[in-house]
Chains A and B, each alone.
Chain A
Amino acid sequence: MSDAEQASDFDPTTQVDEFEPVDVFPSSEDMDLRPGADNCYKCTSCDTSCPVAEVDESFPGPKFQGPEQWRLKRGEDVDIDDSILSCSNCMRCDDACPSSVPLSQMHNTARGEYVEEHMDKLSREYLRNRMLSNYRTLASIGSKVPRLANFVMGLGITSVLGEKIMGIPSERDVPEFATETFRQWFKKRGGSKVSNPDKQVAYFHGCYSNYNTVEVGKAMVRVFEEFGYEVLVPKQQCSGTPMFANGMLKDARREAEVNVRELGKAIDNGADVIASCTSCSMALRQEYPELFDIEGIDELSEHTYEAMEFLRIHEDLEGAIHESEVDPQAFAYHAPCHARNQGLDRQAVELFRELDGAQIEDVGESCSGISGTYGWKSEKYETSMKIGAEMFDHMEHAEGDVGMTECPTCAMQMNHGTGYEIRHPLELLEEAVAN
């Protein structure tokens, strides 16, 4: 609103005191979660779906973290319980609840409040979580000197120091930076090879496809170009997923403002937004409108798709796959929790079953256990691996010895637990339709 408009709206008879601006951030108090809490009829579907509660008996489960804690908090002397930090934000409880209680929204707001009001901003835990949440900042520095960064991160001493100083589990291998980022590659090839003002998509590559698994981003571009789309790559920040999971809502909002603005421009020009990471698409579609009030945020939510989902809806993807063939290969597919929440958990299996040469097996409903930054914390490492045990076991029993998933951190966990190479569905789709 401009100053001029404000001046013309000014009514001297209105008492200024009565005006209460609606600001849903940062305090959860402004968000009306009551109807959600009242919808809970205590059926325990959320608790039986929670991968953390299954292996960690000290974790009170999503029903407590959501509606029960919300109700307890009505009493003035009750603070958010620190167990909220043990929630991995896998959001399985959302998917489970037959009564549509907005559990993850309740967890996100409670976590945000806990971190904001009760966490020591100089504690190792806070600093470590802040660093993990802002992976993009780290990666953008590391990828300026990828070879040096990879060398340093690969050193045994780095890993020991990481564990001792920061609380990063030394068991994990830090992901390697690509020598050329996706954005550098895209710029170098001269942008999209297709020019089509009627069929444009804006690619939200997220951090990982840009700095680490650039082949996923390249596959996305080539597949969409094959279907006649002009691919735009707007300026973008982190989706905010790791920030929500660590209660860093201010950081998340800062990133979201840029994403909503920049992607919004593409949407205004008729493009839809495509993500290859299911947690990125989850953030843009669900968490953004649930947590922030930014102009254009609903439009972004409505125009965001996961890559294969978009093609399934708008193109005859099944037909294209049916006519294709790839070299014989077998995959053990794991559906990320955040894909599950968008109704995408069966998509890759359904489509690639129709692809000659490819064999694909769903390794089951269990969570991989890493949940983004969760498994990257020393104190959560054991829980993370306990949750993942079922998936590792199923992967080893599956025919394929190459893993497949949409989520970059699930992929890290799958590789960490089995040693398998892990691929993204877009890479197989590229092999099938874009070669």
Chain B
Amino acid sequence: MAIREDVIVIGGGLAGSVAAIEAAETGASVRLVTYKKSTLRHASGLIDVLGYNGSDDPITDPFAALENLPADHPYSVAGEAAVHDGLDRFDEIVGDSYQGDHTDTNALIPTFGGAVKPTARYPAAAAAGIASDDRPMLIIGFEEMTEYNGSMLADHLEAAGVPFDVEGVECSFPGEYVNDSRVTRFAKRLDINENVEYEGRTTGAREALANEIEPHVGDAERVGLPAFLGDDHTDEVRTDLERHLGVDVFEIPMGPPSYPGIRLSDQLKDAVDEAGVRISAGNPVVGFEAEDGEIQSVTVDSKGREVPYHADEYVLATGGLVGKGIDSGREEGVTEPIFDCHIPHPEDRYDWFDKEAFGDQPFAHFGVVVDETMRPLSADDAPEFDNLRAAGAVIGGADTVAEKSQSGVSLATAVVAGERAGERAAKHEVSQ
């Protein structure tokens, strides 16, 4: 029994990281076991609480809207206080790198499709792009990036009825690039301010980029670029561009690879480390040993060999369908692969989905059912195990993608699961 902790958290995304930190705050020894890179790395990096609820109109105050949610919604189960606690914990972890904590009201942030997304917290790098601000805006696209077009984005924003003038323009990213160069190359070049050849002279990539943008600024008081302004030195890149251009510069969240998601993921990892949580990354949890309704150990598949990891309390934060915390098959139906926790779902596979792509999809609600302490419940409403809790997208009961609520659900359920696990582990120690 060499590998032993008070609490083991399975999953290293937003929910797992926050649950681990929360548990460590209670004084428990905590190990985070994570397999592959988190799906957080392809997410927008925006922290939403509740953006929509059934209608096409965005919700202004997500907290006021919580009471309208059904009883089996994770927010209803965790309670409003948990949603606030989750955000407080998040604010503490990310510090000044995120904004939005001054109000309960949703901010509207432009996305790379030209829509505006209601969100509770947003990276400081995206702050100047907020849609409730009426300053004229310029959106820069790059000829080298096929997935992102400045003029189209501006047109879409205008069509969405934003209260400011917005123009879009295509520029060329300074320096020599191969035709299908990736966003990571641009980011790296700006991050280290690599020298590039620009208009006959050698200059830093940041200055060259500012010179390329400058002739287009006109009356615009803020300039939006795809979210690739550096990786480790994103604040410096943005400040340098702002200094050269004399206007605010902001990032527009993109699809994968998403730097705001990657940065948040890196920030969480540092916070987990700083909280004294031990991290085992790279191998999956594939099974467990239980006795008298309590999990004794989880089994980690260490490249073909099964190694037991022991703890008093466990938190399951393995994600939803995309993160593979939930699986499905023709024979087995919808399953939670590690502990085989109960996931309610129609027996007939053809009842799992709606024929309308953007209809109310039953599969989007799939996930484990939890009690108010986040313990997954069996089909007869009894806890699957006394010492197992769930957090994040593995919990069902809501279409968090349509609602724009996944980050908030992850945070709220993670603080409850993490805190309860930590406290209960302490009791174990006292009673032993």
Contact = CB atoms under 8 A, between A and B. Distances in A.
A289 B281 contact: no
A301 B303 CA distance: 8
Interface in B190-211: none
Nearest to B176: A57
A318 B2 contact: yes
B182 interface: yes
A225 interface: no
B164 interface: no
A285 B304 contact: yes
Interface stretch (A39-47, A108-116, A117-125, A238-246): A39-47
A57 B37 contact: no
Contacts of B185: 53-54, 57
B255 to A, nearest CB: 9
A97 B36 contact: yes
A95 B36 contact: yes
A2 interface: no
A47 B184 CA distance: 8
B100 interface: no
Given A48-B184, A48-B262, A98-B324, A302 B3 contact: no
Interface in A280-315: 285-286, 289, 298, 301-303, 305, 309, 312-315
A322 interface: no
Contacts of B3: 312-313
B351 to A, nearest CB: 25
B42 A57 contact: no
A54 B302 contact: no
Nearest to B4: A318
A340 B37 CA distance: 12
A100 to B, nearest CB: 7
Category for how many chain A residues contact B: 35 or more
Contacts of B344: none
A173 interface: no
B113 interface: no
Interface residues of B, number: 34
A346 B38 CA distance: 17
Contacts of A44: 42, 256-257
A343 B42 contact: no
B60 interface: no
Nearest to A95: B282
B76 interface: no
A59 B182 CA distance: 10
B2 A345 contact: no
Contacts of B39: 43, 98
A328 B205 CA distance: 44
Contacts of A345: 281-282
Nearest to B38: A98
Nearest to A281: B303
Given A96-B37, A298-B304, A61 B182 contact: yes
B contacts with A: majority SS: loop
Nearest to A93: B37
A350 B36 contact: no
- B37, B262, B279, B307 — which one has the most chain A CB atoms within 10 A of its CB? B37
Contacts of B180: 60
B172 interface: no
B81 interface: no
Contacts of A61: 182
B281 A98 contact: no
B182 A47 contact: yes
B2 to A, nearest CB: 6
A286 B301 CA distance: 12
A58 interface: yes
B182 A53 contact: yes
A86 interface: no
Contacts of A312: 2-3
B132 interface: no
A341 B282 contact: yes
Given A48-B184, A95-B36, A95-B37, A316 B2 contact: yes
Interface in B49-105: none
A340 B282 contact: yes
Contacts of A42: 256
Contacts of B36: 45, 95-100
A286 B257 CA distance: 28
B303 A342 contact: yes
Interface in B134-174: none
A75 to B, nearest CB: 20
A24 interface: no
B41 interface: yes
Interface in B210-235: none
A350 B3 CA distance: 12
Contacts of A99: 36, 324
B283 interface: yes
Given A99-B324, A302-B304, A303-B305, 14 more contacts: A44-B256, A47-B257, A49-B37, A57-B181, A58-B178, A95-B36, A97-B37, A99-B36, A286-B303, A301-B304, A309-B302, A315-B2, A342-B283, A343-B280
15 contacts: A44-B256, A45-B37, A47-B184, A48-B257, A49-B37, A55-B188, A57-B182, A58-B178, A98-B39, A99-B324, A286-B303, A312-B3, A344-B282, A346-B279, A346-B281
Interface of B: 2-3, 36-39, 41-42, 177-178, 180-182, 184-185, 188, 256-257, 262, 278-283, 300, 302-305, 307, 322-324
